[in-house]
Structure 1
Amino acid sequence: MLSKTIFDFSLTYPQPINSLYTMAFAGKWETETQEGYEEFCKLVGIPDDIIAKGRDYKLITEVVQNGNEFSWSQLYPTNKSVTNKFVIDQECDMETIGGKKFKATVTMEGGKLSTEFPKYHHTSEISGGKLIEVRVALWQKMVCIRRERIKEVWAVQVMFYVFFPFRPQPWAQLC
Structure 2
Amino acid sequence: MAFAGKWETETQEGYDEFCKLLGIPDDVIEKGRNYKLITEVTQSGNDFAWCQIYPTNATVTNKFTIDKECDMETIGGKKFKATVQMEGGKLSVTFPNYHHTSEIVGGKLVETSKAGSVMLKRTSKKL
Is the structural similarity TM-score above 0.5?
Answer: yes
How many residues are paired up?
Answer: 119
Q: Does 1:96 align with 2:71?
A: no
Report matched runs for 1:67-106 at 5 Å: 67-106=45-84
Q: 1:98: how far off?
A: 0.4
Q: Which amino acid aligns with 2:18?
A: F
Letter matched to residue 2 of structure 2: A
| Structure 1: runs of 5 or more not aligned | 1-22, 144-168
Match of 1:135 among 94, 107, 113: 113
1:153 aligns to what? none
Provide the rounded CA distance (Å) in 2 between the counterparts of 1:78 and 1:136. 23
| Structure 1 residue 54 corresponds to structure 2 residue 32 | yes
Counterpart residue type for residue 38 of structure 2: I
- C-alpha separation between the residues in 1 aligned to 2:39 and 2:80? 20
Aligned to 2:2, which of 24, 31, 36? 24
Q: Alignment partner of 2:17: what SS?
A: helix
Provide the TM-score with structure 1 as the length reference.
0.66
Determine which structure has greater relative contact order: mean sequence separation of CA pairs < 8 Å that are 6+ residues apart, divided by chain length: 2
Give the distance between the partners of 2:37 and 2:96, measured in 1 at CA: 21
Partner of 1:116: 94
The structure that is helix-richer by fraction is 1
- What is the CA RMSD across the aligned residues, in angstroms? 1.3
Structure richer in strand, relative to its length: 2
Instruction: Name the larger-Rg structure.
Output: 1
Runs of 4+ aligned residues of structure 1 deviating over 4 Å after TM superposition are none
